[in-house]
């Protein structure tokens, strides 16, 4: 089991989306890589309602900045 994390995503025109997840990995900093300034995080979402699942999948499908 990963570290619990509660995420809140604010969408313009909709109420906040709050989802519970578990941190499953953290990409470590590689000081030689340009990407080290923005390390990554892997989250497994748990106990999603149907509404949360639909909204989350819509956000992911829309891509960054949507």
So where are the chain's domains? 3-28+40-62
Residue-wise pLDDT tens digits, 7-28: 998 888 888 999 999 988 877 6
Residue of 13 and 52 predicted with greater confidence:
52
Q: What are phi and psi of 8, to 5 degrees?
A: -120, 125
Q: Report the alpha-carbon distance of residue 58 to residue 4 in Å, rounded.
A: 23
pTM of the model: 0.65
């Amino acid at each position: 089991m990963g570290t619990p994390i509660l995420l809140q995503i604010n969408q313009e025109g909709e109420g906040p989306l709050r989802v519970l997840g578990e941190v499953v990995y953290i990409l470590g900093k590689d000081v030689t890589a340009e990407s080290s300034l923005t390390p990554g995080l892997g989250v497994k979402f748990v106990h999603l309602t149907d509404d949360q699942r639909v909204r989350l999948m819509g956000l992911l499908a829309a891509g960054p900045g949507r």
